[in-house]
Amino acid sequence: MVLNASLILQALVNGVLMGSIYALVGIGLALIFGVMNIVNFAHGSLMMAAMYLSYWLFVSWKVDPYLSMLATIPFLFFFGLLIQRWLIERVIDAKHSIQILLTVGLSLFLDNLALALFTPDFRAISVSYQTASLVLGGIIISYPQLIAFLLALGLTFALYFFIKKTMTGKAIRATSVEKEGAILVGINSQRIHYLTFGIGSACVGAAGAAVLPFFYCSPNVGYAFVIPAFVVVVLDGMGNFWATFVGGLIVGVAESMGAIFVPGSLKQMVMFIIFVLVLFFKPRGLFSK
């Protein structure tokens, strides 16, 4: 086997870059779960919707995928808000099984709608910079992936700031910690729920557009990102956004190192072994005290 330093370093870089995307997707999931205690199984389908939106903007009007975020983020925000308003809010106090059925059903609906509207074809866009890369001492860093990484980092920071420092952010945190108490002090918990689901969905609105230059688009594409994102969420124990971000990087690096060190098909197993170990030994999250 040809294990050398540059191969390992390259895998590390690949893992960190991919991990940041898992993190961005995971942050949306964690936020929704943290505030409303709802596991959003439709998260991947929402990401798929963002990817198609970005794809069609590019194909129809040559809108650059990064620029298309100006559309995908607000679109997903309002789409999420409406989903919360019309669907999730109705089962917010129902049993978990009912909530799961609803989000799984929504996911099936969206996936099949995409199948009907866009056919099962795999699509990808060709942008001039899609294979552009930065070469640093033999290590190749793809520009689109680097941009996605920086975007994920920036958005994590923005969300962190929003939740920690703004009044609305504080209201979201209050609702997440103690719903009844928050209502007592005059916080409109329903509106906080709308906002939370909107923001959670907007995260995949950004992620969907950010991955399009180096990924493909199809009705089932969301699962490729959401499954690692679920692991991320378990890793960080729904703590803060930075923990989620680091969790994403851990999952990404575990996967890429797995691809180098263990026989290829087992690379996802490395990720799931971490998942099981964390659940077993630190069920409240890797960074819990």
Interface residues with another protein (CB under 8 A)?
1-2, 4, 7, 10-11, 14-15, 18, 21-22, 115, 119-124, 126, 130-131, 133, 140, 142, 214-216, 218, 221, 223-225, 228, 252, 255-257, 259-260, 263-265, 267-268
Tokens of 120: 């099962």
Give the DSSP letter string of 37-71: ----TTHHHHHHHHHHHHHHHHHHH---TTTTHHH
User: Minimum distance between the CB of residue 103 and another protein, rounded to whole angstroms?
Assistant: 20
User: Closer to another protein at the Cβ: 209 or 221?
Assistant: 221
Considering beta carbons, is residue 97 or 265 the nearer one to another protein? 265
Closest to another protein by CB, 92 or 127: 127
Nearer to another protein, 130 or 190 (CB): 130
- Minimum distance, C-beta of residue 262 to another protein, in the bound complex (Å): 11
Q: How far is the CB of 134 from another protein (least distance, A)?
A: 11
Select 195 or 221, whichever has its Cβ closest to another protein. Answer: 221
- Return the structure tokens found at 289: 């005290």
Residue 140 · residue 10 · CB < 8 Å: yes
Is residue 39 classed exposed, middle or buried when 0-12, 13-18 and 19+ CB atoms within 10 A define those classes?
middle
Nearer to another protein, 153 or 224 (CB): 224
Residue 258 to residues 58, 207, 255, Cα–Cα distance (Å): 34, 24, 5
Q: What stretch of H or E contains 186?
A: none
> At its nearest, how many Å lie between another protein and the CB of residue 253?
10
CB of 25 to another protein, least distance (A): 10
Length of the chain: 289
Q: Which is nearer to another protein, 131 or 166 (CB)?
A: 131
DSSP states along 210-226: HHGGGS-B-TTTTHHHH
Q: What one-letter code names the amino acid at 45?
A: S
- Nearest approach in angstroms of CB 225 to another protein is 6
Minimum CB separation from another protein for residue 180, in Å?
40
Cβ atoms of residues 84 and 194 within 8 Å? yes
Report phi then psi at 185, rounded to 5. Answer: -85, 10
Asked if 58 and 64 count as a contact pair (C-beta separation under 8 A), the reply is: yes
State the residue for tokens 């439709």. Answer: 42
